[in-house]
Amino acid sequence: MPLTLNQFLFLVITLAIVIAVIFLVRLFAQLRRTAAEGEKTLAEMRVLARNLSELDLLVKEKVEDLGKTLEASKKAAVNLSEASFLVTSRIIRPSSKYLPFLIPIARFVWRQLKKRKEKQHGK
């Protein structure tokens, strides 16, 4: 039984509509899965953003502590520099004119002490 032109066109249009409906159903299912994944990702992003803000606060706190530590270190270095300057300018430089006399005397005393120790351990 041969098909008429109207019947053939109706069959082609029906087949095209069925294919379009199947395509749309699959597309909507994929969109639903994509939307669900998007919601999960958005929830994870919120958690990560909250953790990032907490981490930011923690890092700022540690940087402030580090700044205080650096200031204390600078102050200690300045005080140490001033102390070493005072020691060298008030004690070592004025006493350096006596070093040519003191070094031979100290060497003599050291040798005498070594000789006494050797004699004590040798007996």
Percent of the chain with pLDDT over 90: 70
**pLDDT at residue 88 above 90?**
no
Look at the chain and report how many structural domains it folds into: 1
Largest interatomic CA distance in the chain: 140
- 3-state SS track over 34-66: HHHHHHHHHHHHHHHHHHHHHHHHHHHHHHHHH
* 102-111 mean pLDDT: 89
Cα 93-96-102 angle, rounded to 5 deg: 150
State the pLDDT confidence band at 99, using cuts at 50, 70 and 90.
Answer: confident
State residue 42's pLDDT score: 96
32-79 pLDDT, tens digit each? 999 999 999 999 999 999 999 999 999 999 999 999 999 999 999 999
CB 3 within 8 A of CB 11: yes
Domain that holds residue 107: 5-122
State residue 117's pLDDT score: 85
pTM, full prediction: 0.46
